[in-house]
Amino acid sequence: MTKLNELLACLNNGHVIVQTHNYPDQDALASAMGLKVLLEAKGKKVTIGYEGIIDKENTLKMMELLGIECYESSQLTLAPEDEIIIVDGQKGNINMTDLVGDEVACIDHHKIRRGEKYKFSDIRENVGACASIIGSYFFENGIKPSRQVATALLYGIRMDTHNMTRGVSKLDLAMFSRLFPMADHGHIKLLENFCLKLSDLEAYRTAIDTLHVVEGVGVAAVGAGCSEALIASVSDFLLTLSSVQVTLVYSYRAGGVKFSVRSEVECYDASDMIVEALKGLGDGGGHADMAAGFIPNVPDEQMARDYAAVVEGRFLERVHR
């Protein structure tokens, strides 16, 4: 029995909610879109839902070009008996709002932190993109993805593996190879040119002004109110500096402090480092080379800077060890 058929066997309702992590990125949306198409081909009605906002330029353009329909949680009318499939995240994570409904299934590629139970789970920690897992469902079941779906999945894989240079597994390579000839590369090229808004440059300037590097760890603030996607982009940008092998970037937003971590050093696991640094303060997770975290209930920017200093101290202590 294929994974898709195992998933279908645990679904009882005709209508299913596919939930991404909060503030979904390209990999999350591609995965949700692909799963929706697969389930609808099997007779299910599917709605994609998420918490937060989508404000990154290339993500919005991706949704427009590829016809991805998804709804913020406030637009959904959910009941306790509704069945929810989580993609690109896990129940209980700080970036996964507990929506009304029953989380019956989870498809993800992040580290398991809480050991939540599902009727169906396909969590592959070594895979670089969740879109690779969804892509495999198409080929395992002899379902050819449309040009739009192939484009979305390929773009999701490229973005979450940093153009096939970060956390790439054999499955990512296989799916990249199979989806590549099916995708619309004109659309992908256009999406790659829709990365930044003019106003985003202020965050980069703030990061450059506040950046300090200690033993290969680059720490920077990006100002208040930055989106998760922008914080992550700045974190990637700082990693291009020859003197930086690990980045810790933060922003005060939504009543808390958001952190983005990147690591090019095998012995510095970004996910483990942010979890350890936030112990007793907040929560985080991700992969060995990229992770994120959040400290909630922070009343103002001064307190955010104080918390960031504590987290930085714990980071550097870990590096010393």
Q: Specify the pTM.
A: 0.87
Q: Any bridge partners for residue 262, and if so which? A: 247, 290
Q: In whole angstroms, what is the distance from residue 52 CA to residue 294 CA?
A: 14
Per residue of the chain (321 residues), what is the pLDDT tens digit?
999 999 999 999 999 999 999 989 999 999 999 999 999 999 999 999 999 888 788 899 999 999 999 999 999 999 999 999 999 999 988 889 999 999 999 999 998 877 789 999 999 999 999 999 999 999 999 999 999 999 999 999 999 999 999 899 999 999 999 999 999 999 999 998 877 788 889 999 999 999 999 989 999 999 998 988 889 999 999 999 999 999 999 999 878 999 999 999 888 999 999 999 999 999 888 888 999 999 999 999 999 999 999 999 999 898 877
pLDDT at 146: 98
DSSP H/E element including 95 = none
The region, left, alpha or beta by phi > 0 then psi within -120 to 50, assigned to residue 162 is left
pLDDT at 141: 97
Q: Any bridge partners for residue 260, and if so which? A: 249, 292
Residues 6 or more apart whose Cβ sits within 8 Å of residue 18: 32, 35, 36, 39, 46, 47, 48, 49, 84, 85, 87
How many CB atoms are closer than 10 A to CB 202? 14
pLDDT at 190: 93
Query: What are the two backbone dihedrals, phi and then psi, of residue 205, each rounded to the nearest 5 degrees?
Result: -65, -45
Domains of the chain plus CATH, in order, are: 3-192 (3.90.1640.10), 198-320 (3.10.310.40)
Q: In whole angstroms, what is the distance from residue 259 CA to residue 269 CA?
A: 15
Do 250 and 259 form a contact (C-beta atoms < 8 A)?
A: yes
Angle between helix 130-140 and 26-41 (nearest 10): 20
Do 101 and 300 form a contact (C-beta atoms < 8 A)?
A: no
Q: Which two tokens stand for residue 122?
A: 């396909």
The distance of Cα 18 from the centroid of its chain, to the nearest Å, equals 15
Q: Which two tokens stand for residue 279?
A: 């112990």
pLDDT at 9: 97
pLDDT at 318: 86
